[in-house]
Amino acid sequence: MQNEMSRRRLLGLGVGLGAAASLTLAGCGGGSATKSTATGNGGKDYTGPKVDLKLWNGFTGGDGDIFKKLVEQFNSEHQNVAVGVTTYKWDDYYSKLPGAVSSGNGPDIAVMHMDQLATFAARGVITELDDVAKTLELTESDFAPTVWQGGLYNNKRYGIPLDMHPLGFYYNKAVMQKAGLDPAKPPTTKDEYTAALTELKKSGVQGFWVSPFQFTGGMTFYSVLNQWGGSLFDAEVAKATFNSDPAVEACTWLVDMIKQGFSPANVGQDADYLAFKSGKNAFNWNGIWQINDLKKSPQVQWGVAPLPQIGGKPAAWANSHNFTIVKQRSADNNKISAAKVFINWLSQHSLDWAKGGQVPARKAVREGADFAALTEVNALAPELEYAAFPPAVPGLGEVMITFYNSFNEAALNKKSPKQALDDGVAKANKQLEDNRKKYGS
């Protein structure tokens, strides 16, 4: 369980980009030699000689088992393509990838979070996939617009979206019932939320533990900041704006949860989720990936719903997994063609992937009866319409860490919300300026 949560902490923004950005990928894509001359058709089919493909991913939990079964199914259906899976923890994954590619030991296919695509495209680690999108006849209308746009860098496509994973609202029915609350009616508004926390407090329960860490407090702040109408950056992602009045108000609301005794102070990493499972609190804002873990915990009476709307509009933190093809020092067209066939195949099997605890990126799959039958995962699908995804710009990861660290200082009462966010924005603006020089954008 602890390993699972450690892995999940790394699903968010900015993991490993410091290492990725610091490596000079002189060898990436630099070679022009080809080992074969098979003509690619965007992954529609592959009729060349048998090839072995290396695929890297970070699915170390329950979703990893489902992913491996899908790969096994693909291999059984394609006699001339064998995909071998290598799995790393996400923090190791993003730091290992650039060096492995530059030395010629990288994978052929890499699963990558949406917020990482622009950085790895700018570094020359991954290659363009416009032909795959064309072959699949995929357009923005097939996806949430932000997910689709997130796969672009310099107007070229580098990622084929597989899913989206938002923050959800988990509620402990037994704890609610003991406090006299209706476990069938979780709070959906700011007033309802405050009223429920007040009743829980009367019953001796601190109902909503505010974590000072990115997982899950920082992602909660990310969500309510957007609900209040704030934004992390301006439209060009040239300046940080997470110290605006709405942002300060959202941060203050969370810090006040602690000051008013609805949450303990100095909540440890993952302590909010563990307390939820053990009945010590009632509400937990956490990722969709916890659904499968809770399904394995029959002693917990729980439900899941979209995040309560605390601010003036609905919003929820979210990210997305994408498939990418990695540039090689010496290109093998057969492998590239076969890799595209695999990406097409798995994209078309995204309903099976949804059983791993992810919302399918493809609208047709989300709107089907089979997905509706996945009750808990489907409960968070509406969030895709208002999900707050990270912007697709290179070098974003380190800036996001600054954002999360700012919230950490406010939640730990080291600084006032205003001071913490002001200081964070000053640092973030320097980082954004450095990124413009580094990546030329």
Total of domains in the chain = 2
417 and 285 share one domain: yes
Q: Do residues 222 and 204 both lie within one domain?
A: yes
> Does 363 reside within a domain?
no
**Domain shared by 413 and 288, yes or no:** yes
Residue 324 and residue 306 share a domain: no
- Does any domain span residue 120? yes
Pair (230, 274) in one structural domain: yes
- 305, 340: one domain: no
The per-residue pLDDT for range 310-366, each reduced to its tens digit, is: 999 999 999 999 999 999 988 899 999 999 999 989 988 989 988 888 898 888 888
Is 141 buried (19+), middle (13-18) or exposed (0-12) by CB count in 10 A?
exposed
pLDDT for 441 equals 59
Q: How far apart are alpha carbons 349 and 12 in whole angstroms?
A: 24
> CA-to-CA distance for 412 and 213, rounded, in angstroms?
10
Q: In terms of domains, do 158 and 180 share one? A: no
Burial annotation 108-120 (CB, 10 A radius, 16+ → b, else e): bbbbbbbbbbbbb
Asked whether residue 375 is assigned to any structural domain, the reply reads no
Do 204 and 95 fall into the same domain? Answer: no
State whether 328 and 312 are in the same domain: no
Domain housing 275: 167-317+394-439
Q: Domain check: are 310 and 324 in the same one?
A: no
**Is the residue at 355 inside a domain?**
no
Position 17 scores a pLDDT of 39
pTM comes to 0.86
Q: What is the CATH number of the domain that holds 257?
A: 3.40.190.10
Question: What pLDDT is attached to residue 238?
Answer: 96
| 357 within domain boundaries | no
What gap in Å lies between CA 329 and CA 398, rounded to an integer? 28
In a domain, 378, yes or no: no
Report pLDDT for 138: 84
Cα angle: 63, vertex 66, 67; to 5 degrees: 85
Instruction: Say if residue 14 is in the same domain as residue 52.
Output: yes
User: What pLDDT sits at residue 132?
Assistant: 87
The verdict on 343 and 399 lying in the same domain is: no
Q: Is 106 within a domain?
A: yes
Q: Is 388 contained in some domain?
A: no
pLDDT value at residue 85 = 97
Low pLDDT (below 70) residues in the chain: 1-40, 441
